[in-house]
Amino acid sequence: MLFKKLALLALLPFAAGPLAAGDTIAVLSEASGVYWEAFSAFRTGYGEEVPYYDISIKKPVIPPGTRTVVTFGSAAAKHAYPPGLNVVYALAPGYVAAAGARSGATVKISMLNPPGQLLAGLKELQPGLKRLLILWRAPGFSIILQNYVAAGAAMGVKVSLARVKEEEEIPGLLRASIGKADAFWLPPDPLLFSPSTLSIFREFSLGNALPMYVSTKGLAQKGACASIGVGFPQIGLAASDAVRKLHAGAALPPVVYPENAQLTLNASAAKRCRLVFPDAAIAKAEEIFP
């Protein structure tokens, strides 16, 4: 592991000291995986070779002339940046920056679809959906999910929120939803998922014919009826658009939702939940697992 880190450091000469002056730098929790996928899309959308730090190797040193830091991952987002800089942070699903703590703009690129878009998508998959349970655990979701409650009320869907404090609570919370929910949805909450909790969610859903919806293709493949989410490249492109707008003088909201939605269906899970997807939904799906 140490050799890998040293080898990677050798490939990042700018991580050893201040970077050349520029408008924007990036900070990644790790220069690999989904962080790198989103950052690569960011650079493509931004149109420049934005220099970056891998914060797992070296803390960033902000060069003179920097206006904006764009971050990928929770560890990168939580780093203390100079208060006058703009910070655009992505791939930090359970983290929300404190309001008013900085003079520069602070913008979160959400991993969620806009509330109305998500609920409309779920109703298309399950036209009879009138009661939706959302389970969550990371504190950052406490405020974000209130928007989904409000959007549901406007669309005729009663959205109920259930916070999971300990993994042992999950079976009881799910059992309490029987007869009170038509489906449940799990946001991309890093504290909510583990191999054991995923097994609990999946077995409850399939055993009680209560559709489970998620936000990532990987979780749909592992037993959810469907996922409606945002791809990592789309998150990177949304971050590049946010930075360009900030530099043009635009005022952005605290949370920006990427516009595109990725739909993935799981045919076998839907069948066990007695759910028949409409043809229109099938036509929109980017992937259908058998």
From first to last of its 290 residues, the chain has per-residue pLDDT tens of: 433 333 333 333 333 333 343 589 999 999 999 999 999 999 999 998 899 999 999 999 898 889 999 999 999 999 999 999 999 999 998 888 887 778 899 999 999 899 999 999 999 999 999 999 999 999 888 888 999 999 999 999 999 999 999 999 999 999 999 999 999 999 999 899 999 999 999 999 999 999 999 998 889 999 999 999 998 999 999 999 999 999 999 999 999 999 888 999 999 999 999 999 999 999 999 999 99
Q: What is the pLDDT of residue 171?
A: 97
Rounded CA gap, 119 and 157, in Å? 8
Q: Identify whether residues 280 and 150 lie together within a single domain.
A: yes
192: containing domain: 115-230+261-289
Q: Identify whether residues 62 and 155 lie together within a single domain.
A: no
Q: Identify whether residues 201 and 57 lie together within a single domain.
A: no
Amino acid at 178: I
Q: Identify whether residues 133 and 266 lie together within a single domain.
A: yes
Q: What is the pLDDT of residue 125?
A: 96
Q: Identify whether residues 201 and 95 lie together within a single domain.
A: no
Q: What is the pLDDT of residue 128?
A: 95
Q: What is the pLDDT of residue 124?
A: 96
Cross-strand bridge partners of residue 163: 136
User: In the structure encoding, which two tokens stand for residue 77, read together?
Assistant: 């987002």
Instruction: Compute CA distances 147 → 120, 160, 182, 258, whole Å.
Output: 14, 12, 20, 16
Q: Residue with structure tokens 């605290």? A: 254
Q: List, in order, residues 6 or more apart from 235 with CB less than 8 Å away.
A: 38, 41, 90, 91, 109, 111, 258
Q: Identify whether residues 74 and 187 lie together within a single domain.
A: no
Rounded CA gap, 41 and 55, in Å? 19
Looking at the whole model, is its pTM more than 0.95? no
Rg (CA), the chain: 20
Q: Identify whether residues 173 and 267 lie together within a single domain.
A: yes
Domains held by the chain: number: 2
Q: What is the pLDDT of residue 13?
A: 34
Cβ contact 12:57 at 8 Å: yes
Q: Identify whether residues 281 and 205 lie together within a single domain.
A: yes
Q: Identify whether residues 171 and 70 lie together within a single domain.
A: no
Question: Residue 114 gets which letter from DSSP?
Answer: P
Q: Identify whether residues 35 and 157 lie together within a single domain.
A: no
CATH of the domain at 39: 3.40.50.2300
Q: Identify whether residues 268 and 140 lie together within a single domain.
A: yes
Q: Identify whether residues 225 and 242 lie together within a single domain.
A: no
Cβ contact 173:135 at 8 Å: yes
Rounded CA gap, 74 and 109, in Å? 12
